[in-house]
Structure 1
Amino acid sequence: MDRPADFKVEDTAAGRVALLTGDWTAGSLGRAADQLAEYLDGAPAGVLDLTGVHRLDTAGAYALVRATGGALKAAELRARPETKRLIDLVARAAQTKKPPPAPRRGFEDMLVRIGRGVINLGADAVGTLAFGGHLLAVTGRNLINPARIRWAACISLAERAGLDALPIVATTAFFIGAVVGLLGANMLRQFGAQVFAVELIGIAVMREFNIIITAVLLAGRSASSFAAEIGSMKMNQEIDAMRVLGVDPFEALVFPRFFALLLTIPLLTFVATLAGLFGGLLVTWSVLDLGPAFFLQRIIDNVGATHFWIGLSKAPVMAMAIAGIGCRQGMEVGGDVESLGRRVTAAVVHAIFAIILIDAVFALIYMELDI
């Protein structure tokens, strides 16, 4: 049964004595500590007698330290040894203060952030090389022994990353082709050369926009999906369980996604080309009154299939970049949801940046080759 905390103060020949009784615990303190502080405010006690205290916990010890204040050190403490140790421990903890924050220096902070950024960039580059080497080794093993390929996972992922993306890719490419045709018709009409809008549409759609639109949409759909799926498995320690069972996560998770995108992105690029040309055809037909037969004939005669093959040649590189970035970011997820969100965001941003960079590199190469 709990005994409420209580005390009494006696004036003796040896000085003022504070006699504490009852249970000085969290549930029994009441206002005893506040009343003790009021009594000792004017004339501190020379002796604190805790021999009558039945139970004492950290809450009671802290209340006692706060009530007596500096008088606790000056007074004679009568208590059991374990009680003294508890009060000393709580008193030291109560006096602990956080160290003052170091003064911030703007230039120094800038240098520290730059240094950390350089270190993180180097570590990221090393991790990318290690990831690429591991994926290359797994790809070589699967090509040597195709029976190791998980065909069911590859086909399922190809359907999700490829066939399910057909509507959005076709719709986006259609409107891009229509916009290019509309802008070309309005600009070239000023010079009486509106017929060349057909060539503008053909070259822009077949050489650049078909693969760019497809890759950007796959970066938003597939790269984020790959990072989220593998990252959630990493959080749930499923990847660690695979390694314990002797299953290579790259062979079970990364390679099927890599293969699925490599398989489907040429098909999506072809569909985007047809949709973009169809959008440009409708615009030239309605705005410039150039019929479909005329449009297609000028595409065949003046544009040709070379630009289409140039655009399609970028597809495998784009697929490798998108799948590799998405899977690598998923493998880097930590154990918390915040890390998962950061990695999914990084997967999309890095993939789009890689797409633009790859397209620029291809443009420079083909310009040097005069193609």
Structure 2
Amino acid sequence: MNPEDPELRREGNVVHLRGHWTATRLKRIEGRLASRTLPASTSLTLELSGIAKLDTAGAWLIQRLLADRRGSGQEIGTRGASEHVAAMLELVAAQADPRSAPTARKLPGILEKIGRESVSVLNIGYEFLSFVGEGSLTTLRAFAVPRRLRPRMLLKTIEQAGVNALPIIGLLSFLIGVVIAYQSAVFLRQYGANVFLADLVGISMARELAPLMTAIIVAGRTGSAFAAQIGTMMVTDEVDAIRAMGIRPLEVLVTPKMLGLIIALPLLTLFADAMGVLGGMVIGRTVLDISAAAFLDRLAQAVSVSSYLVGLAKAPIFAAVIAAVGCYQGFKVRGSAESVGQRTTMSVVQSIFIVIVLDALFSVLFNRLGI
């Protein structure tokens, strides 16, 4: 027998281990170790002084033997290990036994899934409300000291969220007005009610479509930008640096964005109203032969001031929601650029969802109030 081959020899309650217990020589000894019946006495000792070489594979095999015997209730220990052997055994013992890995858990049932999702949604709602409350208090404290409003950042937000959004808002609102007018013109012409085109376009744009479509566009354009900017700062530890300087991150990153969007969105809504009416006027002139003067005269009669105010009243609330969701998702970014993308997407989806829900609630409320 080759003296380098691993050997397992029993003398009473002592088992002598000899040779090279390495990965290249363990194939034979592992089979004999599994089939060999060791003494069933209450005490057993492994004599390790004969081990000339030991690597992690051999150490794991010895540790597996110890674990199996102890698991069956037998008292077993080691002796005579050299410094190298003892260190290798200690290293392997510190690692988890792969055989002790938990078995696959039974998949949760439908009720458990519903419960878990409900709890998760409630936790997210609680965190979001806490963020909104803290942001509101920070904004109120900033009003007490005007320099904390950071006018330059506020104006920059108005420029980015408002002025730079005018082309896309104007184009889409004009096209929406064109679509509404063109679809309505076919039916109005059948009943000789061409002039009522101004009623349809004006009321639908002023009360519903202009504030809603503007908010959706801003959510996708500006809300996502808020989330991406703050998220990137979270990844690069810039937010921690702001805290280290003794400055509240919400005061610097949230208050100017929220106030700027609250100012910009109503103005964008008014612009969307005008562009939508212009689109309807173009179709009225080209399809129904309604002059611009007649269209505007009927528009002034059909669309009351309250209709414009209803649309404008929604805009600041939509703006606050979009800014809050975007900033909240930005602060939730953790660890990597992938998280930035995920949170940016979530900010857009959640903002649009909340805006549509709020618009539906406003419609019910205004109907009940007779507005």
- Shorter-chain TM-score bucket reads 0.7 to 0.9
Q: What letter is aligned with 1:264? A: A
Relative distance call for 1:192 and 1:45 in structure 2 (3 A) is same
Relative distance call for 1:360 and 1:86 in structure 2 (3 A) is same
How do residues 287-366 of structure 1 correspond to structure 2 at under 5 angstroms?
Answer: 287-366=287-366
Say if 2:180 is the partner of 1:177.
no
Q: What letter is aligned with 2:143? A: L
Q: What is the aligned partner in structure 2 of residue 223 from structure 1?
A: 223
Q: What letter is aligned with 1:119? A: V
Matches of 1:114 and 1:204, distance apart in 2: 39
Distance apart, 1:171 and its partner CA = 1.0
Relative distance call for 1:176 and 1:331 in structure 2 (3 A) is same
Relative distance call for 1:89 and 1:346 in structure 2 (3 A) is closer
8 A contact 1:7–1:18 mirrored in 2: no
8 A contact 2:230–2:331 mirrored in 1: yes
8 A contact 1:261–1:320 mirrored in 2: yes
Relative distance call for 1:50 and 1:348 in structure 2 (3 A) is same
Matches of 2:97 and 2:318, distance apart in 1: 61
Matches of 1:309 and 1:164, distance apart in 2: 24
Q: What is the aligned partner in structure 2 of residue 101 from structure 1?
A: 104
8 A contact 2:223–2:347 mirrored in 1: yes
Relative distance call for 1:97 and 1:290 in structure 2 (3 A) is same
Matches of 1:95 and 1:303, distance apart in 2: 74
Q: What letter is aligned with 1:256? A: P
> Which string of whole-angstrom CA distances, capped at 9 and with x for unpartnered residues, describes residues 260-286 of structure 1?
101211221122112111111111222
Q: What letter is aligned with 1:80? A: A
Matches of 1:125 and 1:93, distance apart in 2: 38
Further displaced range: 348-357 or 299-308: 299-308
8 A contact 1:184–1:194 mirrored in 2: no
How do residues 62-211 of structure 1 correspond to structure 2 at under 5 angstroms?
Answer: 62=60, 80=81, 83=85, 86=88, 96-104=99-107, 106=109, 110=111, 112-211=112-211
Give secondary structure in 1 for the equivalent of 2:257.
helix
Further displaced range: 240-249 or 34-43: 34-43
Q: What letter is aligned with 1:96? A: R
Q: What letter is aligned with 1:280? A: G
Distance apart, 1:330 and its partner CA = 1.8
Q: What is the aligned partner in structure 2 of residue 270 from structure 1?
A: 270
> Which string of whole-angstrom CA distances, capped at 9 and with x for unpartnered residues, describes residues 226-259 of structure 1?
1121122223332233223210111111001001
Distance apart, 1:342 and its partner CA = 3.6
Q: What letter is aligned with 1:33? A: L
8 A contact 2:158–2:263 mirrored in 1: yes
Structure 2 residue runs of 5 or longer lacking an equivalent are 40-45, 69-73
Q: What letter is aligned with 1:58? A: T
TM-score (norm 1): 0.79
Matches of 2:225 and 2:331, distance apart in 1: 13
TM-score (norm 2): 0.79
Distance apart, 1:36 and its partner CA = 5.7
Further displaced range: 330-339 or 226-235: 330-339
Matches of 1:95 and 1:168, distance apart in 2: 58
Distance apart, 1:135 and its partner CA = 2.1
> Aligned-residue CA RMSD in angstroms?
4.0
Q: What is the aligned partner in structure 1 of residue 213 from structure 2?
A: 213
8 A contact 2:219–2:322 mirrored in 1: yes
Distance apart, 1:196 and its partner CA = 1.4
> Which string of whole-angstrom CA distances, capped at 9 and with x for unpartnered residues, describes residues 79-125 of structure 1?
6355378559859966733233344462xx52x33333333333333
Give secondary structure in 1 for the equivalent of 2:370.
coil
| Residues paired across the two proteins, number | 358
Matches of 1:170 and 1:30, distance apart in 2: 73
Give secondary structure in 1 for the equivalent of 2:5.
strand
Matches of 1:354 and 1:42, distance apart in 2: 67
Matches of 1:88 and 1:223, distance apart in 2: 54
Give secondary structure in 1 for the equivalent of 2:323.
helix
Relative distance call for 1:370 and 1:19 in structure 2 (3 A) is closer
Say if 2:32 is the partner of 1:32.
no
Q: What letter is aligned with 2:25? A: A
8 A contact 2:5–2:19 mirrored in 1: yes
Q: What is the aligned partner in structure 2 of residue 59 from structure 1?
A: 57
Percent of pairs identical after alignment?
Answer: 36
Q: What is the aligned partner in structure 2 of residue 7 from structure 1?
A: 5
Distance apart, 1:170 and its partner CA = 0.8
Q: What is the aligned partner in structure 1 of residue 237 from structure 2?
A: 237
Structure 1 residue runs of 5 or longer lacking an equivalent are none
Matches of 1:8 and 1:265, distance apart in 2: 79
Matches of 2:36 and 2:366, distance apart in 1: 94
Matches of 2:300 and 2:60, distance apart in 1: 89
